[in-house]
Structure 1
């Protein structure tokens, strides 16, 4: 074949590998959503339908051993992903931030990137049917000016409880609306 694929975009999908921890993290997330008044206030002020600890708590692995256990597993997944990406690293990436998301029915999160990070990702803790996929955007989209339509301009990654998704932080993504009747719970994070 005379043509070849250049500059691929890697996307990592795996199972966290600890179902008991996934159940414990669901409990931990619900506890935070009840106790973290600052996070609830930020979510309300910014129109986030549900709860996120994104702007209120930056010490979850120190605060709760369940999150510390999660980080140990995530470190392995991130190491595997960076190897798949062929990164040349002077030192291994470290967790920079980790936050809980409890997305109520009807909730969504518009398209965005994660500046100042190398790898970003999400662990899915509770994923009721219809609670929404992660929508990933072809990074070439702004440069495609007169290009014909392509079937893979957007890719929808469907999570399950225990799924780990990783991507390079510059990859634009969004959370599709939660059409389920229950909350979707996830934990997002950045490495740098």
Structure 2
């Protein structure tokens, strides 16, 4: 597996791609659109006008979603173990996973995913060449915020943005504040987000 560790603000943002998703994105897209139709209300989290599924998507009986969950789990645990310098048998848990569908005008407000340790997102269906909305930000970009809020001139780059492609996967520390820029296309923007927990941390709290 090839992955890039992009350090921004001294924080690791891990980026890779899922070839399996590239091969299956059309039926997976249709599957998630059907899921929204069946449970249209969804949840209200950071989503503004967008649809957020229940956060136990990995419990779906659909074979495609089961395969996606396995891909996210296997790749995510590898990236986290590498970033944390954990041994290969370190227990990492996929604690939640949900679909996001943003129609025209939808966006996601700034938020973090504490108390989880690592979070991420994988992109099911996006415009890979969106128009810039100004300032270098594109339709539907994911933006990360500098966790040290001193600002210019000490740390002039207060945000960094990524324009994802179909199959792109990002994994980052859950404390890192992020948001999704507004989506201004008729075709829905579809992603699946997730959280990981480090088992040893949960066990320590439990005692």
Give TM class, smaller chain: 0.7 to 0.9
- The whole-number CA distance in structure 2 between the counterparts of 1:14 and 1:86 is 17
Pairing partner for 1:162 from 167, 171, 183: 167
Q: How does 1:44-123 map to 2 (within 5 A)?
A: 48-53=48-53, 56=54, 58-88=56-86, 91-123=90-122
- The whole-number CA distance in structure 1 between the counterparts of 2:114 and 2:72 is 20
Unaligned runs of 5+ in 2: 1-6, 132-138, 198-207
Structure 1 pair 70–191 and aligned structure 2 pair: CA distance change class (3 A): same
Scaled by the length of structure 2, what TM-score is found? 0.76
Scaled by the length of structure 1, what TM-score is found? 0.82
Q: How does 1:142-157 map to 2 (within 5 A)?
A: 144=150, 148=153, 150-157=155-162
Structure 1 SS opposite 2:81: helix
Higher-strand-fraction structure: 2
Contact 2:81 2:90 in 1 (8 A): no
- Quote how far apart the aligned CAs of 1:181 are: 2.8
Structure 2 SS opposite 1:66: helix
- Whether 1:181 aligns to 2:181 is no
Supply the RMSD in Å over aligned alpha carbons.
Answer: 2.5
Contact 1:118 1:168 in 2 (8 A): yes
Unaligned runs of 5+ in 1: none
- The whole-number CA distance in structure 2 between the counterparts of 1:57 and 1:168 is 19
- Quote how far apart the aligned CAs of 1:87 are: 4.4
- The whole-number CA distance in structure 2 between the counterparts of 1:27 and 1:190 is 24
Pairing partner for 1:14 from 16, 21, 24: 16
- The whole-number CA distance in structure 2 between the counterparts of 1:60 and 1:115 is 20
Q: How many residues align?
A: 179
- The whole-number CA distance in structure 1 between the counterparts of 2:34 and 2:153 is 48
Structure 2 SS opposite 1:63: coil
- The whole-number CA distance in structure 1 between the counterparts of 2:83 and 2:16 is 15
Structure 1 pair 173–57 and aligned structure 2 pair: CA distance change class (3 A): closer
